[in-house]
Amino acid sequence: MDNQATGLFIKQLRIEKNLTQKELADRLHVTDKAVSKWERGLSLPAVDLLQPLSQALGISVVELLDAQRHQDNSIDLQKANAILEDTTRRLKKTIRRKRLALLIIFILLFITTRISGRILWNQGLLLDERSLGIQDLYYSPWDNTLSWIRFALQFLLLWITFFAALRKE
């Protein structure tokens, strides 16, 4: 399923039906900007919009996915399956890219936070109970280590929650 070919096909059918982008968008309950993106090949309609879009344009879903009209009304099941598999593969690839981008952003945010915290600490801009002279009498070097372990476990729990939420999608 080629974005450009599908977009041109949608535009051609919309013009044949004498519909404006706004009118088509109103029928599908989307914005005219979404229709514009489809027609320019910047994005594709969501899967749940394929049936209403094909009905509004007077074609079958297979013709919409194939971006061309079929002369006979018989639907080639293998061709339809191939188109759907290709669309599914592209959607999964897009989802994987977005997940990877989120992961990279989160890691960079974590690293940046740790580095900036260390810089501020070294410059004396961040204070704790030791620097203020109000630490507990039982303070030991292990307190700092235990804080780091607690932080690492919280970070791990956050990642587990993050990936569990992604897996549900």
**Domains of the chain, first to last:** 3-66 (1.10.260.40)
* Other Cβ atoms closer than 10 A to 77: 9
pTM of the shown model: 0.48
Chain-wide mean pLDDT for the chain? 79
Question: Is residue 74 scored above 70 in pLDDT?
Answer: no
Q: Which of 142 and 39 is assigned the larger pLDDT? A: 39
Q: Which of 158 and 15 is assigned the larger pLDDT? A: 15
- Among 26, 98, 88, 16, CA closest to 57: 16
How confident is the model over 10-63, as pLDDT tens digits? 899 999 989 898 999 998 899 989 999 988 988 888 888 888 888 888 888 878
* Other Cβ atoms closer than 10 A to 152: 10
